Structure 1
């Protein structure tokens, strides 16, 4: 009887340890200042209080591109188990940066991907990656201005910028399809990020319109297909301030959208359970000082303990 009880107890302990090892830890990739020092990482166990890792020092110094910046770092875990990252290398170059990692600490050689070198483009800003599980390929998408392509809104943005969202597909981050327009609804748009849920793709985007009346807010569009057919944008889900760089955490039934209140030099967040009614939770979140926008993603507690034991500060 005692032996059976001990076996049962050990079994329960084993289950508890395994379950705890799989408990999610939320990660946030971001940049500071102009992105010159590279990749910063923070973590959270509840999605509200975020703590910088490595004393908020860079994990990866940028080398890709001419200007060698690492702005807007987007990190996702790929189907191959590796983490794939893309980022903005410059304010005015025609490509983006790419690197991959098995543990978020040690990274591959950085590569410059010349996405828009074939056209008279001004920029490639805030690239993101979403995995298309149906076709087993990655979609990289970003904002670009091609002067004169959309003349009706040429004077609606900042200076000469009049962005639309573009995309390519890749299976190996070596060969890419030809860039195509992802989102054009007659206004200048940047900073899109896409999540899939119950067979639907949800795009969070920044309406970059400045004139004749400033938008500078985050809106939502949906589609049944990852690369086409997105709806007209919703009403703004952010408030009476300028917001950019949305990134999304789906925590149970709660959607949390974090964004950069860049003119106020602080971070904000809104939450929803139905993608229709949004509550401002900006006063509930704590972010590292000086954080600029990036991406939220998830790892396990075991991975966190294994990879960051030398870099973390406990909550």
Structure 2
């Protein structure tokens, strides 16, 4: 009887390993000015990416005046749904939201007026979602410039002086009051937050022009809502980088980012979040890919996406 139990245990372990190995990755992104909407690519190794559905749109933007779908962020929620937020405009006080069971059929799109109460808010850029298992709620966060809110920096471009803000929700219907998430004392955008043990790690873009930064840095916090504290120097090289998204493969971290001046993507990897290696020459992505995020799907879910023409 004991030998049968051990056999069944080993068999189940094998199935679990197979399930883990069958996981795949999806990269959601936009192209051009984003007017055609959501694009998806897939990878089984996290390095070589192939566009799905002939690199055509999975969802066209339908909310806000400008009808854009820039900087899409998708996560799988605790409810099993895929939840997405995106930038709807260069100058709007809200963001876009939709959800899907399969990444093919989407809910009605919503406009969430996150900064509507701030008269001086100029924008709501690059929103992302992170689920907090401790509180069983989602944190949506984004970058906004509020006129006169922080000390004037004469080096900022076009008067933009961003900080990161957030709201909390359990159902994407009701939202907490907006609060300041990250104020490092300088212009900051494009944050993405990942649970890391009992902490949270934030990858963000230091947006300062003078002294020139335009690179990706890291900050940590004990709670998802912060306070976050920067740790270490930049993890990217001597080029302008933005829109980081992090992928975890075993004990390896891969952070992708848009080398937007070079019109191509880059990536760095690390096993300790301190020592980083540039692996940009090892990655391959669809032509024209712009700022997006990476998330996991099952092989079954991926097969359904690959069957689309």
The reply to whether TM is greater than 0.5 is: yes
1:41 counterpart residue number: 40
Displacement of 1:273 after TM fit?
Answer: 0.3
Change (3 A) 1:46 1:197: same
Partner Cα distance (1:17, 1:46) in 2: 18
Partner Cα distance (2:19, 2:150) in 1: 52
Secondary structure in structure 2 of the residue aligned to 1:166: strand
Unaligned runs of 5+ residues in structure 2 are 1-6
Deviations along 1:242-273, one digit per CA (max 9) or x if unpaired, are 00000000110000000000000000000000
Q: Is the 8 A contact 1:22 1:302 kept in 2?
A: no
Q: Is the 8 A contact 1:129 1:141 kept in 2?
A: yes
2:197 counterpart residue number: 198
Displacement of 1:148 after TM fit?
Answer: 0.7
Q: Is the 8 A contact 1:29 1:39 kept in 2?
A: yes
Q: Is the 8 A contact 2:93 2:121 kept in 1?
A: yes
Deviations along 1:73-130, one digit per CA (max 9) or x if unpaired, are 0000000000000000000000000000000011000000000011120000000000
Secondary structure in structure 1 of the residue aligned to 2:230: coil
1:76 counterpart residue number: 75
TM-score (norm 1): 0.91
Displacement of 1:17 after TM fit?
Answer: 10
Displacement of 1:22 after TM fit?
Answer: 6.3
Deviations along 1:26-85, one digit per CA (max 9) or x if unpaired, are 000000011110000000010110000011110000001110100000000000000000
Q: Is the 8 A contact 1:88 1:97 kept in 2?
A: yes
Secondary structure in structure 2 of the residue aligned to 1:151: coil
Partner Cα distance (2:11, 2:113) in 1: 53
Are 1:273 and 2:280 an aligned pair? no
2:54 counterpart residue number: 55
Partner Cα distance (1:67, 1:248) in 2: 29
Deviations along 1:146-171, one digit per CA (max 9) or x if unpaired, are 01111243x23211100000000001
**Divergent runs of 4+, >3 A:** 15-18
Which structure 2 residues correspond to residues 234-253 of structure 1 after superposition, within 5 A?
A: 234-253=232-251
Partner Cα distance (1:284, 1:22) in 2: 21
Partner Cα distance (1:281, 1:162) in 2: 31
Q: Is the 8 A contact 1:21 1:301 kept in 2?
A: no
RMSD between superposed Cα atoms in Å: 1.9
Displacement of 1:12 after TM fit?
Answer: 6.8
Partner Cα distance (2:140, 2:16) in 1: 37
TM-score (norm 2): 0.93
Aligned residues: 300
Partner Cα distance (1:305, 1:21) in 2: 16
1:3 counterpart residue number: none
Partner Cα distance (1:95, 1:220) in 2: 26
Displacement of 1:233 after TM fit?
Answer: 4.7
2:143 counterpart residue number: 143
Unaligned runs of 5+ residues in structure 1 are 1-7
Partner Cα distance (1:169, 1:185) in 2: 21
